[in-house]
Amino acid sequence: MKIKKLFVLLLPALAVFGLIVFNACKDANKPANSDNAGLTLEPGFSAVAVAEKLGSARHLVITPENDIYVHLANPVHGKGILVLHIDGDKTTLKTSFADYGGTGIAIKNGYLYASNNTEVFRYKLNAQEEVIDPDHPERIVKGLLSRRMHEPKAICLDNDGNIYVNIGAYSNICSDYDPNKTGCPILDSAAGIWQFKVDKPDQTYGDGVHYGWGLRNVVGLAWNQQDNQLFVMQHGRDALHDLFPNLYTVHQSAELPAECMFAIKKGDNAGWPYVYYDWMQQKNMLGPEYGGDGKKGADPKYINPVAAYPGHYAPDGLMFYTGSQFPEKYKNGAFIAFHGSWNRAPEPQAGYCVVFQPFKNGMPDGKWEVFAGNFPGSLAQTSPNAAEHRPCGLAQGPDGSLYVSDDQRGTIYKITYNK
Amino acid sequence: MKKKKSAVLLFLTFLASLSFAQAKKPIHHSTAVAASMARGKVVYTNICLACHMADGNGVPTMNPPIVNTDYVLGDKPRLIKIVLNGFKEDVQINGQTFSNNMSPHSDLTDRQIADVLTYVRKSFGNKAGGVMALEVKNVRALNNVK
């Protein structure tokens, strides 16, 4: 009896004790860095910031020796490329070089490739994939147009000794250059992807192949190894409502046109500035500058996208996942880094996330999903000025982890799967 | 029927005389500015906000802020000319470079431009004098001569 009474008296205390023990166990099950560096992730994944405050960190590549080469848009202390060595969840700055800022960076067959707004260079690597002579790269491409808009020359390489270089349109929709709508005159030297040889010095327009046409601006591009084909992400046009208030509502202008993924074969034309893609009607449309009304379809000679995403999300990074750390569904699928919009006002801005696009046999298969979110820090900070971080570049580590760069505060995130 | 029409006519005449009387009265300055601001906000929302953003802070590297900058707070004719002619060169503001082109907005009326500039010069923490339609008219006249 006495014992029973004591037990009843102690019951609340026991309950509290039990709760504490239970919660402690739950905490113990969480990874050490349980806040995922502020990101929201799919279950089973975790994130850490392996580097911070690097500057405007754009695209990045990672060597089998766990070195990161990251290209800064603006050089810091006169250096535009940083080399960081990964050691678990941390990195140390190994060295820095290149007296130019830029976005493009790639590694293939013993060379590092990097671009500024008008040129592409390559640096020979040693057996540890370190740059041998950082001060004397070979210039392989020169004289590309850079006219104050869509200047970055994003790059990627195929398996046959070619490099693909984006040359963005220096205009939203070519109105300034085609006032009478007789044909946009800048398409011969911009708004496309050019193919150059990786090993020929000082190539320029005449030496290259005008590989993809009518692409307004591409920052994320990647070579798909499954079907040996170039994939690009186009930044779609702005201001449908501002320019054509009678044809497009404010809401339509925020959602349209789609940001498009194109699979590009030599000579393909995606149709800028004559065409845009409406992801809600799932239709390639004739642009309003050239007689479109929001209903008329585009000339079928222009290719359709293979996948489409909401307007103005600004896809800045594209990477095919070939690792085996992540679950099977991610294998050979595409990750897309959406830098985030500015042209959805007065509606809330959006994007600012890393998306996963499932693939099957080298083509998109199924609906995209947000893989990593909350880069801005909160919903209220989801705007180009207030965002704490904006995803830009993507790279795969030798262990199959996904690395994401942020050009707002210079963070590099490492995302891993915890079995 | 006829009676109704004449009554309406009478009422309209009354209204017209009222507004005439009002026009003769000196309009209180702050009321006029408030009205211009209100109209200017509409112009801003429809024309400018998409690039310069609801808070006037613009977009990094692309669209310049219109807050706390001499381009907005300084010389009025220069500012009026930017609206009329657009802006097609890199501009440095507070150490950052902005490079998106701004289209000309010469299709706006003198009053719309005066209103929107009055709104911009007195909003987002800016505290500068308003712009009158006459000032826009004068700049436009000179601008057109070139």
Per-residue pLDDT tens digits for A323-367 = 999 999 999 999 999 999 999 999 999 999 999 999 999 999 999
- Closest Cα in chain A to B57: A385
B49–A346: do the CB atoms touch at under 8 Å?
A: yes
- Closest Cα in chain A to B99: A148
β-sheet bridge partners, residue A255: none
When scoring B42, B59, B91 by the number of chain A Cβ atoms within 10 A, the one with the most, hence best to mutate, is B59
Q: Say if B90 is an interface residue toward chain A (CB within 8 Å).
A: yes
Residues of chain A with pLDDT under 50: 1-2, 6-33
Pairing state of beta strands A402-406 and A391-396?
A: antiparallel
Decide if pLDDT at B62 tops 70: yes
Pairwise CA distance, residues A149 & A146, whole Å: 7
Decide if pLDDT at B146 tops 90: no
| Separation of CA A120 from chain center | 20
Burial zone of B10 (CB within 10 Å; 0-12 exposed, 13-18 middle, 19+ buried): exposed
A149 closest CB neighbour out of B50, B53, B99: B99
Predicted TM-score of the model (pTM): 0.87
Tell me how far apart the terminal alpha carbons of chain A are, to the nearest angstrom: 50
Shortest CA gap A129–chain B (Å): 34
β-sheet bridge partners, residue B97: B92
Q: Say if B42 is an interface residue toward chain A (CB within 8 Å).
A: no
Shortest CA gap B89–chain A (Å): 8
The sign of the dihedral angle between the CA atoms of A15, A21, A26, A32 is positive
Q: Say if A205 is an interface residue toward chain B (CB within 8 Å).
A: no
Q: Say if A14 is an interface residue toward chain B (CB within 8 Å).
A: no
The DSSP call for residue A188 is G
Pairwise CA distance, residues A9 & B60, whole Å: 64
Q: What is the pLDDT of residue A419?
A: 72
Q: What is the pLDDT of residue A68?
A: 98
Pairing state of beta strands A79-87 and A45-51?
A: unpaired
In chain B the domains, ranked by start, together with CATH numbers, are: 29-145 (1.10.760.10)
Decide if pLDDT at B100 tops 60: yes
Q: What is the pLDDT of residue B30?
A: 83
Q: What is the pLDDT of residue B94?
A: 87
Is A275 in contact with A298 (CB distance < 8 Å)? yes
B49 closest CB neighbour out of A148, A345, A385: A345
A385–B59: do the CB atoms touch at under 8 Å?
A: yes
Decide if pLDDT at B1 tops 50: no
Pairwise CA distance, residues A168 & A177, whole Å: 15
Pairwise CA distance, residues A33 & B65, whole Å: 37
How far CA A3 is from CA of A6, A335, B43, in Å, comes to 5, 63, 80
B59–A345: do the CB atoms touch at under 8 Å?
A: no
Shortest CA gap A343–chain B (Å): 6
A149–B60: do the CB atoms touch at under 8 Å?
A: no
Q: What share of chain B is helix, strand, coil (3-state, %, to 5)?
A: 60, 5, 35
B50 closest CB neighbour out of A343, A383, A385: A343
Q: Say if B53 is an interface residue toward chain A (CB within 8 Å).
A: yes
Q: Say if A149 is an interface residue toward chain B (CB within 8 Å).
A: yes
How far CA A364 is from CA of A221, A320, A338, A360, A394, in Å, comes to 15, 11, 17, 6, 18
- Closest Cα in chain A to B55: A385
Tell me how far apart the terminal alpha carbons of chain B are, to the nearest angstrom: 58
Q: Say if B50 is an interface residue toward chain A (CB within 8 Å).
A: yes
The per-residue pLDDT of chain B, averaged, comes to 87
Taking CB atoms within 8 Å and a gap of at least 24, the contacts of A70-78 are: A70/A105, A70/A393, A70/A405, A70/A412, A71/A98, A71/A101, A71/A102, A71/A103, A71/A104, A71/A105, A71/A114, A71/A393, A72/A101, A72/A410, A73/A101, A73/A102, A73/A103, A73/A152, A73/A407, A74/A101, A75/A99, A75/A100, A75/A101
When scoring A235, A242, A389 by the number of chain B Cβ atoms within 10 A, the one with the most, hence best to mutate, is A242
- Pick the more confident residue, A402 or B18: A402
Exposure string for A35-44, b = 16+ CB within 10 A, e = fewer: ebbbbebbee
Pairwise CA distance, residues A193 & A230, whole Å: 10
- CATH-assigned architecture of domain A36-417: 6 Propeller (2.120)
Give the pLDDT band of residue B14 (cuts 50, 70, 90).
low
**Amino acid identity, residue A19?**
L
Residue A71 φ/ψ, nearest 5 degrees:
-95, 130
